[in-house]
Chain A
Amino acid sequence: MTAHTQSALGGLLASLLNIAAALFLGGVLILAVGENPFRAYAAVLEGAFGTVDGIGYTLHYATNFIFSGLGFALAAHVRQFNIGGEGQAYFAGLIVAVLCIWLPWMPWWALLPLAVAGAALFGAAWAAVPAYLVVRRNCHLVITTIMFNFIASLLMIYLIVSVLRPAGSMAPAGPGLEPGQRLPQIIDMINSFGFRFQPAPLNVMIFVALAVSYAVYRALWRTKWGYELRAAGANDRAARVAGVPIGRMTAQAICLSGALVGLMAVNEIMGAQHRLTLDFALGYGFIGIAVALIGANTPLGIVAAAVLFGALYQGGASLVFLFPSVSREVVVVLQGLVIFFAGGLATMLRPYADALTGALLSRSTAKTEGA
């Protein structure tokens, strides 16, 4: 058993322990509002995975979380904390909407590559100024990206309300997409074989998300570029001595981080909202941080954690629907607990998890000790 595998196992175990701790406290809370926690969690599971449309919603949310999680993780690999995913995705939404407005005749399959490229570009562009400020001016990325979230929010309110809103419309949103521009929903495709499942926004972007996850894995662990990027994050002084341009690597990672988060906009605008709406990215960016932390910044872990949060999102909604005494706020607290344990306290249980895996594996490792 290698130290690497052991550390990965320790990380996995720590994540599971954290989730268990969060669910336990959440259960106490549900008990306090007068419901049976086991029945409540069963309802969450049922809501998230019990029906085909439930699964459709769960995986649709998971698609967003995969993009925002991967984005956060990429910056985290150079020790940068990109808290600005929300603003980057919001700004990326602008180009997606504008492309749809400019090219109304274009079918979705021709528009999709353009929208993906545009969203990546705009997401990266929104991260580029904070990236420059970190690398050249040593400004803290957390501060600058939080401020860029506010700038994006205000800019988009202005653009949506004053520029993109169709004349005569009272709703603060851009014009609706042409029916041919909407990304086909996977449940619709299944229904074309004669099924009659309820619709859900899950669409082809989930395949893009999985492909991007694999691409990020290949890039980080199987290319020279990814190796140098991880070196820059793991020990910047050693990376510098190894000839890695730290500043350039950091800037690239932050911009790519914005690009990945930006892809979320394609899923949400072309796949679910079918128009540019106010605050469509709200919440997804921040949960991406928790997803990356639970997934230990690895694509596989992020995909798994994204499904977990997708289930909490969707299952939480049906929990509120089914249990009158469980309010929307209880579900938010539940999600908050998972973020709190898996994110804020991510390292708290790590020593115990490591000790546990260490004890389990000690026989095999003890033999390789020595020297």
Chain B
Amino acid sequence: MTDQEASHLEFRDISKSFGPVVANNSVSFKVERGTVHGLIGENGAGKTTLMSMLFGLYDPDGGEVLINGARADIKTPSDAIRLGIGMVHQHFMLVERQTALQNLMLGSEGGFWLGRRNGQARREIEAIQQRYGLEFPLDVPVGQLAVGIQQRIEIVKALYRGAELLILDEPTSVLTPPEVELLFHVMRDLVADGKTVVLITHKLQEVMEATRNVTILRHGEVVDTLRTAETSREALAEGMVGRALRARPVERKPCGEAVKVSVENLTVCDSRDIRLVRDVSFEIREGEILGVAGVSGNGQSEILRAMAGLMPVTSGRIRMRDIEIGAGDSIGLAELRQRGVGLVPEDRLGEALVGAWPASENAVLGLTRTPFYDTLTARYPGAEMHSEWCGDLMRDHDVRPADPARRMSFFSGGNQQKLVIGRELSFDPDVLLIGQPTRGVDIGAIEFIHDHLRQERDKGKALMVVSVELEELIALSDRVLVMFEGRSMGVLDKSEFSERRIGMMMAGYSKEATAEMSQEVAE
């Protein structure tokens, strides 16, 4: 087989800029037919931009795309579909109120009257489902199905439209570990049928497990394309970041005895009286980080929001220092901060920052009602107080570029988060509630943020970290609380951690039912 025949997809010198920002700079690499090809890079490295051009969502400024060795002119997504390209986006493109069958037929109804092709379509779809083991009900509104199931619908949608080349954009970020296993199985079956899969991810473990070849992007340029079998996680990480990452420090002080946070039988309902948190209890002691694990939407966020006074407590009690929140109590964040509780919300640009404002104005958001603000006014007399304070904050927390006048939304996710965390630590809260500390944050900044959180812990503070990144929770936490459908599946001590065990608990197995697993891993 010649080289031409072997490569299903080839990028030649693809470039794309958005104003002064270069998203892709002369990107060239080949994807072999019948393989899983990994595409890795930090956030903002240009992975999604590149794939969006392949799918006809953007026009490249220069360069060409070759499909099966022939130059392809892809202007719109329908051009891409005609060329056998299917894309599963990070955010699903499904009509939630329609059934899976209706969603799958959308755009290929065949004629004016609905329903004519239903029988035929159903048979074709069932054949795809059986071939790849992608089970889901065809006649239930999609909105009622779990995200993992919705992703299967997206994959089947692409295959039903004749995709030979399937792009999966960060597919595992919404899945439980068992679901990830299943997805990898599906990918192997697809490849066995001669289809090609491009897997966009920033999880190196997945690249090592599932891909044949891997391309690393950094700052919009290809660092290298490698055989996965001939490389290592460390080498890939270095390629992504552009420098060697140092080993994680393991030494730490043991946590104290004093209980700083105690949550008893917490139940939280939403406005429709659906119970999102059910009877959850836990404690956090001084000098301790409690991680909260769970697939998105299993109640972790609501625990955080109830503790932050952003959602009412239906029953049970929350105690933090001298604060007590029970049913019917409403406590504002201003008061929580005054009494030594800090919050890093999960949705950074939605709740932690004002994207349209300069960094300087964001540097005091939430501080205005703390006594700390008065010390700031004393420290920076004069009209430019916010700017001067922001400049210092940026220096202390390595926010780049250190320009207080720059619009907040122009900073990368990592630099935004460093500013948020720096701001929240600045008034020295005793209890820190943190949601998704490193979501959308690049590896270099993750390290920095983790170090800072560990430092706070070692000062004797109590931290709660809600995260969808299992690796992060294992690296950071002293204990991990695992949530499933609003219930606590148990709290694991550091000695009991294993990715598999937490994964099983996230899928609904209790701590007891997974007890033998920690030994399994210990072997």
A residues contacting B by CB (< 8 A) are 2-5, 7, 222, 224, 227-228, 231, 234-235, 237-245, 358, 362, 365-366, 368-371
Contact = CB atoms under 8 A, between A and B. Distances in A.
B328 interface: no
A368 B406 CA distance: 9
Contact of B20 (A237, A239, A369): A369
Overall SS of chain B's interface: loop
Interface of B: 19-21, 308, 310, 332-337, 343, 345, 347, 350-358, 361, 364-366, 368-369, 373, 383, 400-401, 403, 405-407, 410-412, 415
A243 B405 contact: no
A129 to B, nearest CB: 25
A238 B353 contact: yes
B401 A241 contact: no
B400 A371 contact: yes
A238 B355 CA distance: 10
A227 B373 CA distance: 13
A241 B352 contact: yes
Nearest to B405: A2
Given A231-B354, A237-B347, 16 more contacts: A2-B403, A2-B406, A3-B407, A3-B410, A224-B368, A234-B354, A239-B365, A243-B333, A243-B335, A243-B368, A243-B369, A244-B369, A245-B334, A371-B411, A371-B412, A371-B415
17 contacts: A2-B406, A3-B406, A4-B358, A227-B364, A234-B354, A234-B356, A235-B350, A237-B350, A238-B352, A238-B365, A241-B351, A241-B366, A242-B333, A242-B369, A245-B332, A369-B21, A371-B415
A234 B336 CA distance: 23
Most chain B CB neighbours (cut-off 10 Å) among A239, A241, A362, A369: A241
Nearest to A222: B383
A231 B365 contact: yes
B334 A243 contact: yes
A81 to B, nearest CB: 19
B254 to A, nearest CB: 33
Contacts of A231: 354, 365
A33 to B, nearest CB: 44
B366 A242 contact: yes
B337 A243 contact: yes
Nearest to A1: B405
Contacts of B350: 235, 237-238
Contacts of A235: 350, 353-356
The 7 closest A-B pairs by CB, nearest first: A243-B334, A2-B405, A242-B366, A3-B407, A243-B333, A371-B400, A234-B354
A234 B357 contact: yes
A240 B352 CA distance: 10
A67 to B, nearest CB: 27
- Most B CB contacts (10 A, CB to CB) among A237, A242, A244 go to A242
Contacts of A237: 347, 350-351
A237 B350 CA distance: 6
Nearest to A365: B20
Contacts of B357: 234
B332 A238 contact: no
B358 A371 contact: no
Contacts of A224: 368, 373
A304 B405 CA distance: 26
B366 A243 contact: yes
B255 to A, nearest CB: 28
Nearest to A223: B368
A32 to B, nearest CB: 42
A354 to B, nearest CB: 11
> Residue among A2, A3, A228, A362 with the most chain B CB within 10 A?
A3
B368 to A, nearest CB: 5
A36 B407 CA distance: 47
Contacts of B352: 238, 241
B510 to A, nearest CB: 34
A262 to B, nearest CB: 29
A228 B357 CA distance: 13
A243 B403 CA distance: 26
B98 to A, nearest CB: 29
A365 B401 CA distance: 12
A158 B403 CA distance: 60
Contacts of A244: 334, 368-369
Contacts of B403: 2, 368
A358 B406 contact: no
A250 B338 CA distance: 23
B368 A242 contact: yes
Nearest to A245: B332
B20 A241 contact: no
A253 B356 CA distance: 21
A358 B19 contact: yes
Contact of B407 (A4, A242, A362): A4
A271 B226 CA distance: 82
Nearest to A7: B407
Contacts of A7: 407
A136 to B, nearest CB: 15
A370 B361 contact: no
A328 to B, nearest CB: 42
B259 to A, nearest CB: 26
Nearest to A227: B368
A2 B347 CA distance: 26
Nearest to A241: B351
Contacts of A369: 20-21, 401, 410
A4 B408 CA distance: 11
B357 to A, nearest CB: 6
A5 to B, nearest CB: 8
